[in-house]
Amino acid sequence: MFTPIAGRAAIVTGGTKGIGLGIAGVLAGAGVDVVVCGRDPEAGAAAEAALADRPGAVRYVRADLTRAGDCERLAAATLDAFGRIDIVCANAGAFPERRLEDLTSAEIDELFALNVRGAMLTVRACLPALEAGGHGRVIVTSSIAGPVTGYPGWSHDGATKAALLGFMRSAAMELAPKGITVNAVLPGNIATGGLEEMGEAYLAAMTSSIPQGRLGAPEDIGHACLFLATDEAAYITGASLVVDGGQILTESAGSMEAIGTAQAA
């Protein structure tokens, strides 16, 4: 049994949709008060309504994390709402498909501004509050794509997700004396609006390469974040937790066929 963390407060960036909404729902279900952010106020209101039945309160704060001032404002708004910040889930991100030969300088800058700089500035803005609580937790949403695997069309996205791991490791060292842990979750293919935009053929191909035979649910990532947020995870820092139904274990299509053979035998 884990020590309850009800009454603590979290920021989940990109918590209005997809994986972030799953993380926010699991944390609020454990009694954590959560601020979710995103650019779209309608999605923010929908997230607040969807999670209104959880024991933890859920508040939406509008923020565009490509703007440094919004990262600061998000931390300040969370302190205004809940008086503390114990957990920062730096999850907001985009993953547009673009082949390297078609990528523009502006597109690369835009993606790094959100996926990497936005995460770093949000964490930085929360540091005094994370230290004050005595059990600060930073959890970044990286990906299997980039740090572990590659996929044509996502070189810029993969670069940002690997960059987050570089950030995590050095930040984990800097913040260890302050009692703050910094870890990463590496989702595989999780069923979200962002992923569904890839189309049916992509989703079917991905599902066929996952040993557990299903796409992940946003709550699968939420449960991993909840674990990393507990007191019992205090000695885990600088770690990467893959949550992918076994997808990175797949050496080839042949290895997936062998599962079928084994199941049929």
Tell me how far, at minimum, the Cβ of 41 lies from ligand NAP, in Å.
8
Give CA–CA dist 23/138, Å, rounded. Answer: 13
Comparing CB distances to ligand NAP, the nearer of 33 and 244 is 244
Comparing CB distances to ligand NAP, the nearer of 149 and 230 is 149
- Provide the binding-site residues for ligand NAP, judged by CB under 6 A: 14, 16-20, 37-40, 43, 63-66, 91-95, 114, 141, 143, 187, 189-190, 192-195
For residues 167 and 184, the answer to whether their CB atoms sit within 8 Å is no
Tell me how far, at minimum, the Cβ of 24 lies from ligand NAP, in Å.
10
Comparing CB distances to ligand NAP, the nearer of 38 and 222 is 38
Tell me how far, at minimum, the Cβ of 261 lies from ligand NAP, in Å.
28
Tell me how far, at minimum, the Cβ of 78 lies from ligand NAP, in Å.
14
Give CA–CA dist 25/48, Å, rounded. Answer: 10
Give CA–CA dist 143/160, Å, rounded. Answer: 9
CA nearest to 140, candidates 13, 236, 22: 13
Tell me how far, at minimum, the Cβ of 40 lies from ligand NAP, in Å.
3
Q: Which ranges of the chain would DSSP assign to H, the alpha helix?
A: 18-29, 41-50, 68-82, 105-112, 119-133, 155-175, 193-196, 200-207, 218-229, 253-264
Comparing CB distances to ligand NAP, the nearer of 135 and 167 is 167
Comparing CB distances to ligand NAP, the nearer of 29 and 44 is 44
For residues 64 and 37, the answer to whether their CB atoms sit within 8 Å is no
